[in-house]
């Protein structure tokens, strides 16, 4: 989670919400990383998770990320939850809950929906106070433009 927090710290420089993500290979090495870049790129899909998953797929050499773990500072949204399921990640570890848009147990539970063909393990609340603190500070303070 510390690697994901380091990624999250990069996002506010461009006015993006401080969310960071890393994908870990089965041996624990980082094979993908990302932080929110929607404001920086004008791309609505440039969420930290999406960028980390794309980078991991390039590093692994295929779209199936079986055996890999996504670690993200904020509970994934529905778009990212769909990408998690479709990329066959084994596990999702997240820090802060997202009561307004979370899709890994808070508002929805897309990643564990029994109707889908793949359901990764979900581990919630890892370093939650640190992850939540970054988000709260961003929304309460002045933002980069």
Binding residue numbers for Zn(2+): 47, 77, 80
Residue 75 known to be catalytic: no
Classify residue 140 by burial, with Cβ atoms within 10 Å: 0-12, 13-18, 19+: exposed
Q: In the chain, where do the E strands start and end?
A: 20-24, 30-35, 69-74, 91-96, 121-124
Task: Give the CA-trace dihedral at 132, 118, 48, 21, to 10 degrees.
Answer: 60
Residues of the binding site:
47, 77, 80
The span from the CA of 41 to the CA of 127, in Å, is 28
Contact 11, 52 (CB under 8 A): no
What are the residues whose beta carbons fall under 8 Å from the beta carbon of 41, sequence distance 6 or more? Answer: none
- Catalytic hit among 49, 55, 75, 134: 49
The span from the CA of 137 to the CA of 121, in Å, is 30
| Catalytic (active-site) positions | 49
């Amino acid at each position: 989670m510390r690697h994901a927090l380091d990624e999250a710290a990069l996002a506010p420089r461009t006015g993006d919400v401080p969310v960071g993500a890393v994908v870990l290979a089965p041996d624990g090495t980082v094979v993908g990383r990302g932080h929110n870049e929607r404001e920086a790129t004008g791309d609505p899909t440039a969420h930290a998770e999406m960028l980390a998953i794309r980078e991991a797929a390039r590093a692994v050499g295929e779209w199936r990320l079986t055996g890999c773990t996504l670690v993200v500072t904020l509970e994934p949204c529905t778009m990212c939850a769909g990408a998690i399921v479709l990329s066959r990640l084994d596990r999702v570890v997240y820090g802060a809950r997202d009561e307004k848009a979370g899709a890994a147990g808070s508002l929805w539970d897309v990643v564990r929906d029994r109707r889908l063909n793949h359901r990764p393990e979900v581990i919630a609340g890892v370093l939650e106070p640190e992850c939540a603190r970054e988000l709260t500070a961003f929304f309460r303070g002045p933002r980069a433009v």
